[in-house]
Every structure is written in C-alpha cells, then in structure tokens.
Structure 1
Amino acid sequence: MRYGYWAPVFGGWLRNTDDEPQASWEHLKGIVTRSEDLGYDLTLIAELNLNDIQGIQAPALDAWSSAAALAAITSTIELMVAVRPNFHQPALFAKQAANIDRISNGRLALNVVSSWWAKEAESYGLQFDQHDDRYARTTEWLQVLDRLWTDPTTDFAGDFYTLKDAIVEPKPVSTSERPRPVIYAGGESEAAKTLIARYCDAYVMHGDEPAVIADKIADMRRRREAFGLPPMQYGMAGYSIVRDSQREAEAELARITTIPGLADGSPPAGFANFDQWLSGTQLERELKIREYSVSNRGLRPGFVGTPETVRERMEEFEAAGLNLVLLQMSPQAEEMERFSRQVMRAN
C-alpha cells in the first residue's frame, strides 16, 4: 500500500470545528517537508480558488504556484496536483506542468478534475459545462496534452481547442517506467469511467466499504482491458482517527461529526457548497448528513480505531485491489506523525 495525504491548501479539513488552522504557505511547507521524513509517498494538492471547507471567505492557496515551490524544496514525495481543464488552456498548461516536473526531477502527477462547482466558475468568469460536456472537454484536453508532451510540434483542431505548430520544450522527465507525469482521475458516471479507462493511469475513488471498492476496481479493470491498455493504479480517499482505544477514537468521531446550527437553521458557511456539490453530480444521493463533516466520503472506509484496527482495515482494502490511500487527518501535523509511527511503520 502507498500512503498519501491531502495537502492543507484550505487549512484544516474539518467543517464542524472552529479550531482548524487557516491556509498558509508556512503551514503547507511544514507539513509536506516533514512528510518525507515520515515516509509518506504522495501528497494531493487540491485546486479550488474558493475555500470549500471553511467557507468561501476563508483563504485558499493556489495549487500550481504551491506545487512549483514544493517541487524545489522536496526530494522524494510525489506531487499529485489537481487540474481542471476549464480553468487551464492546455498548451499553456502543458508548458507550465513540464517545467514543474523538471524542477521536481520527475515527481509531478496530475489529478484531472472535470469541475463540479458552478459557483466558483461563475465567480471567476469561466465557462462551466454541463455534465457530459465537461467530460468531452476533458477528453480533448488530455489528447492535446499527450500530443504536446510527445511530438516535436502539435497541430490540433477540435470542438474546444485549436492549436497550430505548438511547441513544448523542455518536455517532462521521461523514463521507461514513467514516460510522462502520471494522470489520476476520479468519477462515477459512465462518461467519467470511459474517459479514465482510456486516457488516465490511475483511478481515484471516494471512500467506501472494501466490497464496494473491490467492485469498482473490477469494473475499471474490465474497461481498461477492453482498450488493450496496461493495468491501472487504484486509490481511495479516507479520513483517519487513530487512538490508543476504540472508545477514544469513537469519541473523536462524535466530536467532528456534530454539525453546529443545523437544527436551528444556521449551519456553517460551507454547508451550502455541500448542497450545491450534491446537486451538480451523479454521485449516490444516500450520503448521510454527517458526511458533510469530512469531504470525499472520508469516513466510510472506517479508518477509526486503534492502530491494530486501522492496520487490519488497510489490509482489507489492499486485498480488494487498492494500492493507494489519500488520507485526511486533524490536527494534521500531529496525526500524520501518529499514523506514520503506529500504522505505516508498525508493519
């Protein structure tokens, strides 16, 4: 199993508590540089210009300038940076990403996200496509990227993008094991899964039970084989609470899943964004209200309990075919130390 974590570009990850840190470069730098010493394999740097966790008025760090800075001061960790095609012209992005990959000596990866948040796009004056159009744009965007990172010059004429004699030099670091930056993506609609199986290297899922994850992996393996492509990697989001006793872990779980103000009609600032996210995707609608507390269905995997309990749970997911977990924790620095010592290094 590879262990990754969400970089704190929004500050903390809990929506219901008032003691989470605000986003800052100093906090981000400290977490990521320390994570290399702790043995983490990867960090996911999310891309939103508005803060989806603490409310849109709260600070949110820019993903790509942060990634460039981190590339220069780290040496081993994979930098998986989210990118939304409707926010980035592909030829200019290909140049920017290739440069960051060179700075990191081949440690850049992409998490391609077909945008879901209409409010953010409208705030910044950007195009917001309807669901299937988003995936059509992403398909074309990835085709352009592949050409620019492979061919000496690129001509392209599509429905969304047109290029003439485009050149990207230097290109990203290329080896036999990694010919270009690894491309991760997630999605549960038919359009999303078809795109990911054809154009991406890894499928990243929201948190869920091992049996559900096993079924999703089996489905994507069949799709991948139908295209005659090599096996993919499979990752999943999860929120971890590791304590010396199950009782202590459950007490922390109860604390973070209590939504203040919900009963009297004055919920936290980010709750409206959660409602909008549900209405804008084809995800299952049976999400429990407590899952607002932790993003990406992070509580469903059940990484809550003693070190032994969490290790056993990780083994269940590994048996299901998962090879990467993307963790959220709070307070992040303290919990990442604990998880590294008691779960990762105890094996």
Structure 2
Amino acid sequence: MSQNAPAADDIKFAYWVPNVSGGLVVSKIEQRTDWSLEYNQKLARTAEAAGFEYALSQIRFTAGYGAQYQHESVSFSQALLHATEKLKVIAAILPGPWHPAVVAKQLATIDHISNGRIAINVVSGWFKDEFTSIGEPWLEHDERYRRSNEFIRAIRGIWTEDDFTFKGDFYRFNNYTLSPKPVQKPHPEIFQGGSSRAARDNAASVSDWYFTNGNTVDNLKSQIDDIRAKAAQNNHSVRIGVNAFVIARDTEEEARAVLDDIVRHAHVEAVQAFGHAAKEAGKASPEGEGNWAKSTFEDLVQYNDGFRTNLIGTPLQIAQRIVALKAIGVDLVLAGFLHFIEEVEYFGKKVLPLVRELEREREAQPA
C-alpha cells in the first residue's frame, strides 16, 4: 500500500500516458521520455508506487504537432494493466471509428482480465483531418457531442442492462445482452472532456467525469460551478479533472528556468499548425469558442494548456496550488511531465505527501 494512498475525499492524481512520440510538449527540448512499451510499463509501475490512481492513454490516428508515432490506446492500456496491480487506466475512444457495442465488449473483457481497472475517455474529436483521412464522416461541432451523448448512453446501457434497446440517430440496439458484464459496478468509469457549451452540457447529463484544459483558478471555478449547476438540474453528478503540466524543482527559479527552456525550444511550425487547427475547430461551435480559444503561443506549447494551471515551482508551492484547486471543486489533477519517470517519482516523494498534509490541516479547521 502506497504511503500516498488517498482517503475517499482526497484529490486524486492521473498522468498522461506517453503512448505517442514527442512527449507532452511541442518542443525540441531534450526529453527523457519515451513512447515505447518498455518505458511505459516502467512508468506505470513508478506512478502506481508514487500514489497515482489513474493513467490516461491518448488516441491518435494520424501524426500531428510532433507526435509522429502513436500506439493505439485500448491495446496499450491493457499492456499497462498487465504491468501493474492497482493503477486504473483510462483508454481514450473516438466515437465514429469505434462502435459502442465493440467498445463495450472490449472493455468488459479487459475489466475482467484486470479485475476492474479499466475506464474510458470519450473524445468527441476536434481534428477534422484525423477523421477524413481514415474515411470517417466529419460532423458539425454540436453534432459530434450529440453523437458522444448517444455513445455514452448506449455503452452504459449495454454494461448495465439485459435486452438493451436504444433508438438514437447515430446508434440503434435491439434487445442486445452483453455477457459477461464488466466487473466494476455499476460500470467502468466514463470520462469526457471539452470546454464548449455542448461539452459541458454533455458532461452535466451523462458523464461520470469531466476533463477540462488547464486554466487559472478563477476561470476553472466558473466552469465547475456552471457544470455542477447544470448537473443538479439533471439530477446528475459529475466529478472534475483538470489538466496540468507539472514542473516541480527544489527552487522556483529552477522550475521557471525549465519552463523558459521548453518554450524557447518550441517547435514553432508545429505549435502554430496545432493552434490554427484547434482554434478553427473552436470557432465551429455555436458560441465560437473551444478549448483553446484564449490560448497564447506559450500555452499551446503544452497542447492542453497545462502551463496555465501553474503547477510550476517548489513542492510546497505546487501542493498549495493543488489544494486550492480542490477548494474550488477539482477532484483530480491530470498531470504531464517533461522527463516522466524521474519526475513522477519526485512528485510522489516530494509533492504528494505535502498535498495530503495540507488536506488534513484543512479538514481539522473549524467550519
């Protein structure tokens, strides 16, 4: 049992699985991170020992912004589960290329093999070329989320009901019974991300978890308050995960120097191409904004705005900021690192114990 194992109400930690090449920054800076299976299995064991509860595998079908090579998410997630004992791995899925019946069957089997340690992240999709290059229709922004809504309702029904019948615009089932059902009850956890109105409304109605890009505490709070209010109207509850790129060093000066170095060595053409594609996708939403609407060049060097969460500094500074995130309703921090194995280990030794200590101190304070 890890000394950093959380209590039920403690903030939880996940890490991005580097199952794509190029690491988690669009930069030419040297990274002691590798996309191979051997490296990732060692990282999974390191993260598990450090106190991380979740790992999120990425889904890519085409190369983009430095990610020339990509391992498929579901099969790679299963390989990580074989290498660990407690870690839960979240496999990213794209509705369109995947049908909910296939995913439900696939993940139910993995759930049995891993004794209940698989989860799913439903990615509605934002990169048009990724769909058109493999012959998949490209839907308008809100239609993609409407499909994801049906996808989640369908997969949940398959996992929890016998003789499941569903008549949607995208998916149809007629008295379908999946056997065996997953080990986890009522079903494996369902994650979903996005920042648009459609993404938040979807999370507030059907998802177990909502992932949002990195942001300031004030901006995150307004998002979280909005989602939780919508969820309450739907008699639904949803937990919140936030993306963060962690640079923990013994001094703040060292940490800031690493950030400066990452940005100074940014792959300029790749960052600009990603920024253009991402912002064009956001403009297609009815409100004209998406995940990256207000992202600067520096923000886009970490492609989910991880720098904006500001988990950059000493272990104490980072721990204090994590507890501040918890105070506004964040349930999980999804972390990326420059040199994954060594920095995950450092985080587990230096940062996580301080987070737990600060959580206990806050709990002891009178209401």
**Cα-to-partner distance string for 1:186-228 (whole Å, 9 max, x where unaligned):** 2222222221111011121111111211221111111111011
**Cα-to-partner distance string for 1:227-266 (whole Å, 9 max, x where unaligned):** 112x32111000011111111111111000125574xxxx
Q: Please show how residues 139-288 of structure 1 align to structure 2 within 5 Å.
A: 139-175=149-185, 179-229=186-236, 231-260=237-266, 262=268, 267-268=269-270, 271-281=272-282, 282-283=289-290, 285-288=293-296
What stretches of structure 2 of length at least 5 have no aligned partner?
Answer: 1-10, 283-288, 358-367
Instruction: Classify 1:240/1:254 alpha carbon distance in 2 versus 1 (closer, same or farther; 3 Å).
Output: same
State the match for 1:318 in structure 2: 326
**Aligned mate of 1:119, from 110, 116, 129:** 129
Report the AA paired with residue 255 of structure 2: A
Structure 2 CA distance for aligned equivalents of residues 325 and 120 of structure 1: 27
Identity of aligned residues (%): 29
**Cα-to-partner distance string for 1:115-148 (whole Å, 9 max, x where unaligned):** 1111111121112211011011111112211221
Structure 1 CA distance for aligned equivalents of residues 259 and 293 of structure 2: 22
TM-score of the superposed pair, with normalisation by structure 2: 0.87
**Aligned mate of 2:337, from 310, 325, 329:** 329
Report the AA paired with residue 13 of structure 1: L
Structure 1 CA distance for aligned equivalents of residues 345 and 45 of structure 2: 13
Instruction: Classify 1:157/1:345 alpha carbon distance in 2 versus 1 (closer, same or farther; 3 Å).
Output: same
Instruction: Classify 1:173/1:293 alpha carbon distance in 2 versus 1 (closer, same or farther; 3 Å).
Output: same
Displacement of 1:158 after TM fit? 2.1
Instruction: Classify 1:261/1:187 alpha carbon distance in 2 versus 1 (closer, same or farther; 3 Å).
Output: closer
State the match for 1:102 in structure 2: 112
**Aligned mate of 1:292, from 288, 300, 306:** 300
Q: Is the 8 A contact 1:90 1:145 kept in 2?
A: yes
Instruction: Classify 1:132/1:261 alpha carbon distance in 2 versus 1 (closer, same or farther; 3 Å).
Output: closer
State the match for 2:25 in structure 1: 14
Structure 2 CA distance for aligned equivalents of residues 261 and 322 of structure 1: 31
The aligned length equals: 336
Displacement of 1:160 after TM fit? 1.3
1:50 and 2:62 are equivalent in the alignment:
yes
**Cα-to-partner distance string for 1:79-111 (whole Å, 9 max, x where unaligned):** 111111112111111101111111121121111
Instruction: Classify 1:274/1:24 alpha carbon distance in 2 versus 1 (closer, same or farther; 3 Å).
Output: farther
**Cα-to-partner distance string for 1:154-190 (whole Å, 9 max, x where unaligned):** 2333211223342311111144xxx111111122222
Structure 2 CA distance for aligned equivalents of residues 137 and 170 of structure 1: 26
What stretches of structure 1 of length at least 5 have no aligned partner?
Answer: none
Displacement of 1:297 after TM fit? 0.6
Structure 2 CA distance for aligned equivalents of residues 226 and 73 of structure 1: 41
Q: Is the 8 A contact 2:111 2:182 kept in 1?
A: yes
Report the AA paired with residue 240 of structure 1: V
State the match for 1:31 in structure 2: 43
Structure 2 CA distance for aligned equivalents of residues 112 and 147 of structure 1: 15
Instruction: Classify 1:297/1:77 alpha carbon distance in 2 versus 1 (closer, same or farther; 3 Å).
Output: same
Structure 2 CA distance for aligned equivalents of residues 9 and 261 of structure 1: 20
Secondary structure of 1:79 counterpart: strand
State the match for 2:73 in structure 1: 63
- Larger deviation: 20-29 or 329-338? 20-29
TM-score of the superposed pair, with normalisation by structure 1: 0.92
Report the AA paired with residue 227 of structure 2: M
Report the AA paired with residue 203 of structure 1: Y
- Larger deviation: 201-210 or 153-162? 153-162
Structure 1 CA distance for aligned equivalents of residues 65 and 344 of structure 2: 19
Structure 1 CA distance for aligned equivalents of residues 321 and 161 of structure 2: 45
**Cα-to-partner distance string for 1:46-103 (whole Å, 9 max, x where unaligned):** 1112244424xx2111101111222223211111111111121111111011111111
Q: Is the 8 A contact 1:10 1:54 kept in 2?
A: no
Instruction: Classify 1:168/1:81 alpha carbon distance in 2 versus 1 (closer, same or farther; 3 Å).
Output: same
Secondary structure of 2:125 counterpart: coil
Structure 2 CA distance for aligned equivalents of residues 217 and 66 of structure 1: 31
What is the root-mean-square deviation of aligned Cα atoms in Å? Answer: 1.7
Structure 1 CA distance for aligned equivalents of residues 133 and 299 of structure 2: 26
Report the AA paired with residue 252 of structure 2: Q
Structure 2 CA distance for aligned equivalents of residues 194 and 286 of structure 1: 21
Q: Is the 8 A contact 2:247 2:312 kept in 1?
A: yes
Report the AA paired with residue 196 of structure 1: A
